[in-house]
Amino acid sequence: MTPTPFHIVLIEPEIPPNTGNIARLCGATGTILHLVG
């Protein structure tokens, strides 16, 4: 049985460096990132 992937949702992110850091973290951990807005 495979684990269900974790999802992170950012709604209208305002600080680009933070968004980039979160995107890199998601890429390294296999987490699914959703950017809204």
Range of the domain at 12: 7-36
Split at pLDDT 50, 70, 90, the class of 6 is: very high
Confidence of residue 1 (pLDDT cuts 50, 70, 90): confident
In a domain, 1, yes or no: no
What secondary structure does DSSP assign to 24-36, as a single string?
Answer: HHHHHHT-EEEEE
Residue 29 CA to residue 8 CA, distance in Å, equals 12
What is the spatial distance between Cα 7 and Cα 5, in angstroms, rounded to a whole number?
6
Q: Rg of the Cα trace of the chain?
A: 11
Question: Cβ distance 20 to 14 under 8 Å?
Answer: no
Domain membership of residue 2 (yes or no) is: no
pTM: 0.82
20 within some domain: yes
As for how many domains the chain has, the answer is 1
Question: If pLDDT is split at 50, 70 and 90, which confidence band does 5 have?
Answer: confident
pLDDT digits (tens, 9 = 90+) for 7-37: 999 999 999 999 999 999 999 999 999 999 9
